Structure 1
Amino acid sequence: MNLSDLNDLDLSNVANWPLPARVALIGIVFVSVLGLGYWFDIKDQGIRLEKAEKKEIELRQTFEAKARKAANLAAYEQQLEEMKASFGAMLRQLPNKTEVAELLVDISQSGLAAGLEFKLFKPQNEVPKEFYAELPISIRVKGTYHEFGNFISGIAALPRIVTVHNINMTPGNDN
């Protein structure tokens, strides 16, 4: 079969074509069907597969992170309970409004018990903070270094939270 014979082939009567022409036509149709099938179906599935693989990697990382957290859940719960207990204990150490006067007396008594002489004991206005309120007190005392140390130690031993700030110590006239 030569090239001029191809012009004589009748598309409406493929059954009478020579065998090589029929095989070539079947091959062309087969390759065309495969190509169109790939183009319209398999190509989209490949794109969806890539997206699914990326999603799998993300989900696997999320799962591993959550698995690590779950493995430590008991320790986290124990730590949370300890923090709640500690927070509750600290809250109980903060004086409420009715206990402030008693706390001021306790501070004054600590100073007197340490041997200090109070020159000034002046509570100032309350300064509100996020979870508590500060009650600054201006105190001026006269005494020895060791008496002052005993006073600070006495304040630290009080059952309430008291902090000491802005300390200025100067030697007195009588040393």
Structure 2
Amino acid sequence: MEMPRETSQKIEAFFENIDKLTETHKNLICVGTFVLIVGGFFYFSYLPKTKKIKAYKMEYKTLSNDLRIARKNARELGKYRVLLGYKKTEFSIVKKALPEKKEIPSLISGISKAGLDAGLEFILFQPKLERKKDFYAEIPISIKVNG
């Protein structure tokens, strides 16, 4: 493919001007061109990739730590399942010790009867509003006795 005549003349004029330069100037142009190429590569290619590598290393470190913790937890899973079984058993035992809602009136009358049997005179025996808790409800009672 042949270049247009005008472009060819410009290129020839450019190289003639370079031929007129001293050896020192030619060497400086070569060194400058080399520095521009290497600097461009470094700035536009190398630096962004090193930043990405650094970010990937940080992410790897975080994920490795998360994996280490997950593996440790997985090793201890059996122990926690056994512990959960014990806690469920304890909970069911304690839950049985708490009165059911239908047992509360008989429990209150039992407290009243035990007080009368002990010679106490009930001036005030007033159940208050139920307070809900996690797995149970409290029913506070105001009591005033003589005796």
Q: How many Å separate the matches in 2 of 1:25 and 1:59?
A: 49
Whether the aligned pair in 2 keeps the contact of 1:118 and 1:139 (CA below 8 Å) is: no
Change (3 A) 1:77 1:141: farther
Amino acid across the alignment from 1:45: K
Please state whether the residue corresponding to 2:128 is helix, strand or coil: coil
Change (3 A) 1:128 1:61: same
Change (3 A) 1:83 1:21: same
User: How far has the Cα of 1:47 moved from its partner?
Assistant: 0.8
Instruction: Report the equivalent of 2:44.
Output: 40
72, 76, 90: which is aligned to 2:76?
72
Change (3 A) 1:90 1:137: farther
Change (3 A) 1:78 1:56: same
1:128 correspondence with 2:131: yes
Amino acid across the alignment from 2:37: V
Which residues of structure 2 form unaligned runs of 5+?
1-12
Q: Name the structure where helix makes up a greater proportion of residues.
A: 2
User: How far has the Cα of 1:64 moved from its partner?
Assistant: 2.3
Instruction: Report the equivalent of 1:117.
Output: 119
Change (3 A) 1:24 1:107: same
TM-score after normalising by structure 2:
0.63
What root-mean-square deviation, in Å, do the aligned CA atoms of Structure 1 and Structure 2 show? 3.6
User: How far has the Cα of 1:90 moved from its partner?
Assistant: 2.4
1:92 correspondence with 2:96: yes
Q: How many Å separate the matches in 2 of 1:12 and 1:64?
A: 68
Deviations 1:113-147 (CA, angstroms, capped at 9, x unpaired): xx7223117242233232413241526364xxxxx
| Equivalent runs, 1:92-171 vs 2, <5 Å | 92-108=96-112, 116-120=118-122, 122-131=125-134, 132-136=137-141, 138=143, 140=145, 142=147
Percent identical pairs in the alignment equals 17
User: How far has the Cα of 1:38 moved from its partner?
Assistant: 1.6
Q: How many Å separate the matches in 2 of 1:130 and 1:109?
A: 28
Q: How many Å separate the matches in 2 of 1:69 and 1:139?
A: 54
Whether the aligned pair in 1 keeps the contact of 2:132 and 2:138 (CA below 8 Å) is: yes
Which residues of structure 1 form unaligned runs of 5+?
1-8, 143-175
